[in-house]
Amino acid sequence: MSTQLLTYLFVGASFALYIGIAIWSRAGSTKDFYVAGGGVNPVVNGMATAADWMSAASFISMAGIISFMGRDGSVYLLGWTGGYVLLALLLAPYLRKFGRFTVPDFIGERYYSKTARIVAVICLIFVSFTYVAGQMRGVGIVFSRFLEVDVETGVIIGMAVVFMYAVLGGMKGITYTQVAQYCVLIFAYMVPAIFISIMITGNPIPQLGFGAEVADGSGISVLEKLDTVLIDLGFGAYTEGSKSTIDVFAITAALMFGTAGLPHVLVRFFTVPKVSDARKSAGYALAFIAILYTTAPAVASFARLNLVDTVHNTSYEQAPQWFSNWENTGLVEWQDKNNDAVMQYSAGIDNEVTIDRDIIVLANPEIADLPGWVIALVAAGGVAAALSTAAGLLLVISSSVSHDLLKQTLMPAITEKQELLFARIAAAVAVCIAGLFGIYPPAFVAQVVAFAFGLAAASLFPTIVMGIFSKRINKQGAIAGMLSGLIFTFFYILYFKFVSPQLNNAEHWWLGISPEGIGFIGMLLNIGVAFVVSHLSPPPPAEVQDLVDGIRIPSGAAVAHSH
């Protein structure tokens, strides 16, 4: 069977599975739609959270980014996993005990303020749409390379599938499809990783092969060889960094605190039956995530080494098959500058080979000479990663519109049935907007990713944590804190990414912190302002202090009410 046919088969079968699950798990109430009825097993929820979290960026781009950044790529590995520790220790159990539907719900009630709720809704919608645009783009890329359909057609098919299970099933449908998507994506990631690890080092476990010797009898390790080879070609050593320590620190912190403040991840912990389950569930989620996140840096090093070996100083005539396959998509390019018909790869101006970082994962099966079904599997895995994250994001957007904006603020008189209908309409509208982003990607998609994490770190995360761990932070403090964190971070990123991109370098950054890391400073500012303003104004009312007391005690979550 041809690879093309296999790919259609794999992607088609996975879509049929997702739609089947959607029909089986329709949502009957707002509680089903927002939090899957609140009865999800912690292991199942952990797996769904892992799929929710691991996006097209984790699946397709992360190994490639690390491959070309070397040690500096650790910011993503540490940042995108360390946040789960904060989530499990400081947020998830308390939000579960609080027992409502959305993140703005918590902020609105704890700070007894509609304004606080609306500020939270704005942060949430901005963060989620930024993120979802990237997912739809990922679906488009996978479709155009593997299925050879237009990006537009790919995005529309993807939208139709998400529409089916997000609009019909809400959180309930999303949870069970995400479990299936996790299985597809992790299998699709590990199979080629194991094969390439065997090919380079002879060790089938990528995490161990990463530190092992290259299987060419030379007796030097993968990382030593990579360092030597890259220095020869004029690059920096793979195991040494080029970013300043303060910037690496700030970026890692912004990504960690941002991860812990991302609404589509937080809301997953509203779905388990009780407080102790929320903690365990975060542990399972990170364990499932860690399988991919500890494999990615190994794949990154193998692929970079293999790339240099097979491409550098190879005559174009003898270029490997994958090279010409991917040349058609424009993701690899060769320009014969010195007219010797041989490809030279280096860091200098005489470099002739341009390689897009997404190649590292997408072309891995071909680079490692794996059979057609593995290539088909990677296509299905990439689509699963993008769709699962997109669905989670669309759900938090729709629930914050129907629940926080309509039911809790603008139209308190609507019935549950009407609220559920509005939730479905909001989800449908959000799917369409996300699709438009995918078809007509705004040129700034790559630039705004810093926004999503920076704003989540500067606004949502500290406000929720202070609401749990302090009883003194009041309405005035929380609103002032959120707004100052938000505005500071927003304008810093806006200035360096859009207003004066030519100044976007370490020389001009404040304290040497790049726009990617500024969310960390925004968070500190938020906390400082909230603390000062709260102490200059009256403490929160007694019933809010009682609410905080109640949240801190694990027992009694079952009686938490839905309104």
Residues that bind other proteins (CB under 8 A): 39-42, 66, 71, 73-74, 77-78, 81-82, 84-86, 88-90, 207-208, 210-213, 221, 223, 239, 241, 245, 248-249, 252-253, 256, 272-277, 279-280, 282-283, 286-287, 290, 293-294, 297, 469-472, 545-546, 549-550, 552-558
Q: Which is nearer to other proteins, 236 or 554 (CB)?
A: 554
Query: Least distance in Å: CB of 240 to other proteins?
Result: 8
Query: Least distance in Å: CB of 520 to other proteins?
Result: 11
* Measured distance CA(215)–CA(202) in Å, rounded: 6
Query: Least distance in Å: CB of 539 to other proteins?
Result: 8
Query: Least distance in Å: CB of 218 to other proteins?
Result: 14
Query: Least distance in Å: CB of 120 to other proteins?
Result: 22
Q: Which is nearer to other proteins, 158 or 169 (CB)?
A: 169
What DSSP designation does 241 have?
Answer: -
Q: Which is nearer to other proteins, 44 or 431 (CB)?
A: 44
Q: Is 470 exposed, middle or buried (0-12, 13-18, 19+ CB in 10 A)?
A: middle
Beta strands in 207-362 (DSSP E): 314-315, 332-334, 342-343, 353-355
Q: Which is nearer to other proteins, 5 or 558 (CB)?
A: 558
* Measured distance CA(563)–CA(99) in Å, rounded: 10
Q: Give the torsion sign (CA, 190, 196, 200, 202).
A: positive
Q: Which is nearer to other proteins, 81 or 398 (CB)?
A: 81
Q: Which is nearer to other proteins, 140 or 258 (CB)?
A: 258
Query: Least distance in Å: CB of 559 to other proteins?
Result: 9
Query: Least distance in Å: CB of 65 to other proteins?
Result: 13
Query: Least distance in Å: CB of 178 to other proteins?
Result: 17
Q: Which is nearer to other proteins, 46 or 170 (CB)?
A: 46
Amino acid at 45: N
State the alpha helices, DSSP H only, in 312-415: 321-327, 359-362, 364-367, 372-399
Query: Least distance in Å: CB of 125 to other proteins?
Result: 29
Angle (CA) 70 72 77, round 5°: 95
Q: Which is nearer to other proteins, 266 or 427 (CB)?
A: 266
CA distances 102 to 61, 273, 391, Å, are 30, 16, 16
Phi and psi at 26, nearest 5°, equal: -65, 150
Q: Which is nearer to other proteins, 85 or 436 (CB)?
A: 85
Amino acid at 18: Y
* Measured distance CA(266)–CA(124) in Å, rounded: 11
Q: Which is nearer to other proteins, 220 or 432 (CB)?
A: 220
Query: Least distance in Å: CB of 138 to other proteins?
Result: 23
Closest among 405, 339, 507, 424 to 33, alpha carbons compared: 424
* Measured distance CA(283)–CA(274) in Å, rounded: 15
Neighbours of 89 (CB within 10 A): 12
Helix, strand, coil share of the chain (percent; to 5): 75, 0, 20
Q: Mind giving me the DSSP string for 154-175?
A: HHHHHHHHHIIIIIHHHHHHHH
Q: Which is nearer to other proteins, 381 or 517 (CB)?
A: 517
- Where residue 313 falls (left for φ over 0; alpha for ψ -120 to 50; beta otherwise) is left
Query: Least distance in Å: CB of 7 to other proteins?
Result: 31
What DSSP designation does 539 have?
Answer: P
* Measured distance CA(530)–CA(520) in Å, rounded: 15
* Measured distance CA(498)–CA(494) in Å, rounded: 5
